Structure 1
Amino acid sequence: MGSDNCAGRAFIGSFTSAGGWGITAAAVDQETGALTVLGSTDTVPDPSYLVLGPGPGPGGRVLYSVSETEHGAAAALDITGDVPQPIGEIRPVEGNGPTHLALAGGHLLTANYGSGSVTALSVRKDGSLGAVTAVLRHEGSGPDADRQRGPHAHQVLPDPSGNWVLSVDLGTDSVRICALDTTTGALRLHGETALRPGTGPRHLAFHPAGSHAYILHELAPTVTACRWDAATGALEPVGEMSVLPEESECGGDTATYPSEVVVSHDGRFLWTACRGHDSISVLALDGTGEKATLVTTVGCGGHWPRDLALDPTGRWLYAANERSGNVSWFVVDSTTGIPHCTGSLEVPAASCVIFA
């Protein structure tokens, strides 16, 4: 099923070290949400997170991937065919265990969990990756002796205005706001927002209006709502809400580690994935965007949901279930925000899903 464009396609990352296929391209049935495998490649070791960016030629797109290994790397891939093909070299990021990446200002940024740093690499005209232009090293620690002895950058992303880069650090219980020099690729620390000690912030998602952000914590089943001021680059926490029912928050034999947060395209709902509890939480956002109320939780359609992704239409929600080795899809009730599972695709060691 070769194609000149990427309409109706998804790309799935998975851990090759755990038997995953690497990067898988899949066709998306727009009527049913179903995924069908087109092809896969294991040329990038442990491509745990992916992002799409513009490429050369009319309508061109390039897929970028981290390589979440001890000596971390990033790669660019051509996706005009059914099997993604590398463009240029796989580039070292001068950081350990990159878990997330994003494009900003003509550069690729990676969040390096193991070394607690953010790396910027130049992006060439053909979409391939150039040299490292900056490495911003985080500093600090948290109260959890096992998980927070030092910094652990877990996510990096630009704000909706494109003027700032935010990095979420699980080890320091904070979010750093940086400025990227689009000419030189230098990263400059602008500010740092502290969150409740011991919560272990993992991922952040912006409200579509761009005025608020929601930070999901890995070491506590909660999400923190923040006001975001793009004019000054200020992130202000305004409230912390549970993503699980009270009876699920404590006790029992199963530890819970929230993983991903997604906001609906209309800003009315927020969804989170919880590993261990193996659920998707549904929260309703009020008109201000500052208060989230837990509506319910539903099963994730597998075990250990590492990632959640909303398709471009906002109708379908997908969960990458790492330990059960599948990607499940859900139709979202537009009135309640509650997702209902309608199918699943086997993808061993699945780690993320993105859509073209």
Structure 2
Amino acid sequence: MGGGSDRRRWAYLGSYTEEGGRGITVAEVDAATGALTARYSTAEPADPSFLALAPDGGVLYAVSETDDGSAAALSLADPARPRPLGAPVPVRGDAPTHLALAAGRLFTANYGSGSVSVLPVGDGGTLGPPSEVFAHRGSGPVTDRQAGPHAHAVVPDPSGRWLLSADLGTDSVWTYALDPATGAPAPHGQSVLPAGSGPRHLAFHPRGEHAYVVNELEPTVTVCRWDAVSGRLEPTGGTRVVPTGVRMTTYPSAPVVSADGRFLWVANRGHDSIATLALDASGERPELRGTVACGGRWPRHLAAGPGDRLLYAANQRSGDVTWFTVDEDSGLPRRAGSIDVPAASCVLLA
């Protein structure tokens, strides 16, 4: 973790400053229970809705989900007090909702403009202006949400050779090849998912042979086979993430796959729950085991603690981060505690 000599564990909690959030809250993590205690917060950058950590743990990255979106780098030389590494860098895209590090670069998914930006990472973790911006094209049948592309997530594949972007507006996942020599990205392909599903995010099985795409416009996960040699993503089926018979409008948000590949957890906004899906040996047939209350309202993000013994939910509308212990056999979470985090958007455990 950042700082090297500090043996305490930390969590970084993003929030929407325009909704009264504190920006990035630093919380200490109890090593025995996983409980969070807020220690510090910084209001800059604005609306840091998603966070990522440098591989060495020394730099924290944040997107600013604003109309004129930007990304920021913060030093974790003192992990309890992040400090900006220069001014936020415009990403040349609107409303970035997600970011990821791959091939020595920072990628952002820009929801408003439906594009993916590529920012070089310099010495010490500083960010440079975008070297490239890739614009998605297309639309979907849900006219009020899918009039154009809306890139919502960027996720490197386990092999490190590809970057995938879930696009809610085009009902597809776009794939970018990362040059094995230089790391430079290039558009590679587009995998079409069910019309009107609204792909929002995705997570890989630990074996790297399957990906699970969480859809926002219907309460489902699309299961896909992934070929890391060809860079091909092939949808094979879908699974509901709320029980049959639930009629309330539900907007799934975030997936987490357990490190042992036994469980897939999905946060459900509206239904305000965490779904637990059991994964079979193949990883291709998730089965809904049940849902539990998320501990608040509008769970925008989920994160797993060490060994998958804990889950953390960022509940945006109730303004809290709630943590759960996970039953080892069933995978079902049980609420253990929470802290106030107004307009919570993201949980990152360092």
TM-score, structure 1 as length reference: 0.95
Distance 1:183 1:25, change over 3 A: farther
* Secondary structure class of the residue paired with 1:66: strand
Which residue identity does 2:15 align to in structure 1? Answer: S
* Alignment map for 1:228-267 (pairs within 5 Å): 228-248=226-246, 250=247, 254-267=248-261
Q: What's 1:9 paired with? A: 10
Q: What's 2:324 paired with? A: 330
Q: What is the alpha-carbon distance in structure 2 between the residues aligned to residue 6 and residue 118 of structure 1?
A: 36
Distance 1:6 1:222, change over 3 A: farther
Q: What is the alpha-carbon distance in structure 1 between the residues aligned to residue 15 and residue 151 of structure 2?
A: 20
Q: What's 2:304 paired with? A: 310
* Alignment map for 1:187-336 (pairs within 5 Å): 187-248=185-246, 250=247, 254-336=248-330
Distance 1:323 1:310, change over 3 A: same
Deviations 1:309-336 (A, max 9, x none): 0013211000000000000000000100
Which residue identity does 1:170 align to in structure 2? Answer: L
Q: How many aligned positions are there?
A: 347
Q: What is the alpha-carbon distance in structure 1 between the residues aligned to residue 306 and residue 158 of structure 2?
A: 17
Q: What is the alpha-carbon distance in structure 1 between the residues aligned to residue 151 and residue 179 of structure 2?
A: 20
The one of 86, 89, 103 aligned to 1:88: 86
* Secondary structure class of the residue paired with 2:245: helix
The one of 55, 63, 71 aligned to 1:66: 63
Q: What is the alpha-carbon distance in structure 1 between the residues aligned to residue 171 and residue 307 of structure 2?
A: 33
Residue 159 (structure 1) aligned with residue 161 (structure 2): no
Shift of 1:114: 0.1
Shift of 1:306: 0.3
Q: What is the alpha-carbon distance in structure 2 between the residues aligned to residue 103 and residue 135 of structure 1?
A: 15
Deviations 1:195-221 (A, max 9, x none): 000000000000011111000000000
Which residue identity does 2:29 align to in structure 1? Answer: V
* Secondary structure class of the residue paired with 2:239: strand
The answer as to whether partners of 1:312 and 1:355 remain within 8 angstroms in 2 is no
Q: Name the Cα RMSD after superposition.
A: 1.4
Q: What's 1:44 paired with? A: 45
* Secondary structure class of the residue paired with 2:259: coil
* Secondary structure class of the residue paired with 2:128: strand
The answer as to whether partners of 2:14 and 2:346 remain within 8 angstroms in 1 is yes
The answer as to whether partners of 2:103 and 2:184 remain within 8 angstroms in 1 is no
Q: What is the alpha-carbon distance in structure 2 between the residues aligned to residue 290 and residue 191 of structure 1?
A: 22
Which residue identity does 1:347 align to in structure 2? Answer: V
Q: Percent identity?
A: 59
* Secondary structure class of the residue paired with 1:126: helix
Q: Which runs of 5+ in 1 are unaligned?
A: none
Shift of 1:185: 6.6
Q: What's 2:55 paired with? A: 54
Q: What's 2:144 paired with? A: 146
Q: What's 1:26 paired with? A: 27
Shift of 1:183: 7.1
Shift of 1:32: 1.1
Q: What is the alpha-carbon distance in structure 1 between the residues aligned to residue 137 and residue 306 of structure 2?
A: 37
Deviations 1:53-85 (A, max 9, x none): 135xxxx51100000000000000012322211
* Alignment map for 1:171-182 (pairs within 5 Å): 171-181=169-179
Deviations 1:203-258 (A, max 9, x none): 0000011111000000000001111110110111111010111111x3xxx42111
The answer as to whether partners of 2:161 and 2:180 remain within 8 angstroms in 1 is no
Distance 1:188 1:334, change over 3 A: same
Shift of 1:182: 7.3
Q: What is the alpha-carbon distance in structure 1 between the residues aligned to residue 180 and residue 136 of structure 2?
A: 21
